């Protein structure tokens, strides 16, 4: 289930952003799962490309992963937490300077 969640997180980010240059630098998402009483709680740790609307991207990833894991496993997902490990600049941003 953790592997499904990690893959779904990558899918969610790919469908939400158009920052293919930064994707090469992003570490693979890590997922953890707690299962009990027929429900699952998911925890994700991942990098996000920069610039990005963090709140909107986070909500999208959480919703997408919850729905995808529930659909593929048949378990009800009650919670998806997201920890952003680091922001990875798109190409060219690291060379910009304020004049």
What is the predicted pLDDT for the residue at 40? 97
CA distance 31 to 42: 7
Q: Are 22 and 49 in contact (CB under 8 A)?
A: yes
Question: According to the model, what pLDDT value does residue 29 have?
Answer: 95
Q: What is the mean pLDDT of each run of 10 residues along the chain (99 residues)?
A: 96 74 76 95 95 93 97 96 93 55
What's the confidence (pLDDT) of residue 76?
97
Percent composition of the chain: helix, strand, coil (DSSP 3-state, to 5): 40, 35, 25
**Cut 0.95: pTM above it:** no
Q: Which two tokens stand for residue 16?
A: 């939400």
């Amino acid at each position: 289930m953790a592997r499904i969640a990690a893959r779904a997180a990558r899918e969610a980010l790919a469908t939400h952003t158009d920052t293919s240059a930064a994707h090469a630098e992003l570490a693979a998402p890590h997922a953890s799962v707690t299962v009990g009483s027929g429900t699952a709680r998911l925890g994700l740790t991942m990098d996000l490309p920069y610039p990005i609307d963090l709140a909107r991207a986070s909500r999208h990833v959480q919703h997408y992963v919850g729905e995808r894991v529930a659909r593929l496993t048949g378990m009800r997902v009650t919670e998806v937490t997201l920890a952003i490990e680091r922001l990875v600049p798109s190409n060219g941003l690291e060379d910009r300077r304020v004049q």
